[in-house]
Structure 1
């Protein structure tokens, strides 16, 4: 969907919500419920995600009859990647880490947006204790002093928990970060000339090539590890 003006948004939603007005949409913006982009000259631009968010707000008001504070809280939970159901007296749920749902590159969190979890929510999602999180921080695997955590932190903490169940403690895992930093250096060297151009096309190509190289590195690590294990089990 191309960018819409506020008039275009009203036209798109007119058949479904006849009570929506430009002043109401701007009020929601002033309350932080929506955040349309702005052009260089200050004009608001609404895209498909903005229209869907406004549609959701309208439904929560007209169908669920929720007050503004409840809508704000609901949207904030959604934005942070939590699992929320309405109407419900239950608190929002954090997504649960499961090694079985991981794809080979180790990214299983299914949320389309990046998570923003508190320290306690991270511990719930990764099924770890606060003490274990502190230990991960001691070995620079997760920054345990942060105020908010994303799905990378959940995957790292959850995977560390699984390994700890096999006797492989966080202190043994620092080498994984060292390898990752080495691989990142290789990728930076491969795409550095593209990044230096500072154009949108070059940045996009650098991102595509970085992802391809990272996937190849992950696959190579996995194949080499499995080959070594095969030799070990056959010896």
Structure 2
């Protein structure tokens, strides 16, 4: 299956999953889809089940990728005990499978009980639709089918008029020619609102916009010759290349920011 087909299979159970998130999980070594001679990914049924396991572990158990990867490696090597392997095999079938595991697998129940005790009395971690440390921007699909009014954006992002006006003045959110917004604007507004809780105003975020514009310009330089090709599939290849480069640039940007912050803190 293509990556788009895999996305269609997973989204009913995992609405927040995106193409770029699947690519990120591949880059982290949790999945290993085959590649066609032209470089396109091709996923098997086993790849889809592996993805479902990872997404289920993140959603239901809040496990970090490092732990999930260790679990998968244990299963692959046969090091996991039979009870755990059976539980995880059933977990990939979705929420129903997870509930079945919880009802009749004592080892899983013990692990779940310990985890519940650890988090008892504490609110779950704040989530913005993006798992901490991961990159899953929907905009990499270059999909502009969603058209939101200003009122829609205010409601979905849970922001007020003043905050939205500040974002527009800072050129962080740009409405379309007809005055509509897309889902990207919602994600950006939510993120900006979360950063505002740390004292960062819209004007402070212009530096991020400038950096993003420079990265986009580099991607455009590489993709432009592909798009200008007279081949029938030139546009599709150009968009796929742009998505690949954008995902890689985001990963690189994240790594560089983490390293800079760590160094500034003397870590």
Q: Please state which band the TM-score falls in when normalised by the shorter chain.
A: 0.5 to 0.7
Gaps of 5+ in 2: 1-125
Q: Are positions 1:100 and 2:132 aligned together? A: no
Report the equivalent of 2:185: 153
- CA 1:144/1:210 → structure 2, altered by over 3 Å: closer, same or farther? closer
Matched residue of 1:200: which SS?
Answer: coil
What CA distance in whole angstroms lies between the structure 2 residues aligned with 1:105 and 1:200? 31
What CA distance in whole angstroms lies between the structure 2 residues aligned with 1:142 and 1:113? 14
Report the equivalent of 2:148: 117
Q: Are positions 1:228 and 2:260 aligned together? A: yes
How many residue pairs get matched?
136
Contact 1:187–1:214 (CA<8 Å) still a contact in 2?
A: yes
What CA distance in whole angstroms lies between the structure 1 residues aligned with 2:232 and 2:186? 31
Where does structure 1 differ by over 4 angstroms across 4 or more consecutive aligned residues? none
Q: Are positions 1:138 and 2:166 aligned together? A: no
Superimposed CA distance per residue, residues 188-207 of structure 1 (whole angstroms, 9 cap, x where no aligned partner): 11122111124331111111
Gaps of 5+ in 1: 1-97
Q: Are positions 1:168 and 2:174 aligned together? A: no
Which structure ranks higher in relative contact order (CA pairs < 8 Å, sequence separation ≥ 6)? 2
Larger radius of gyration: 1
**Superposition RMSD in Å:** 2.4
Superimposed CA distance per residue, residues 22-49 of structure 1 (whole angstroms, 9 cap, x where no aligned partner): xxxxxxxxxxxxxxxxxxxxxxxxxxxx
What CA distance in whole angstroms lies between the structure 1 residues aligned with 2:216 and 2:144? 23
What CA distance in whole angstroms lies between the structure 2 residues aligned with 1:162 and 1:135? 15
Q: Are positions 1:180 and 2:180 aligned together? A: no
Shift of 1:139: 0.7
Q: TM-score, normalised by structure 2?
A: 0.46
Q: TM-score, normalised by structure 1?
A: 0.52
Pairing partner for 1:219 from 236, 251, 254: 251
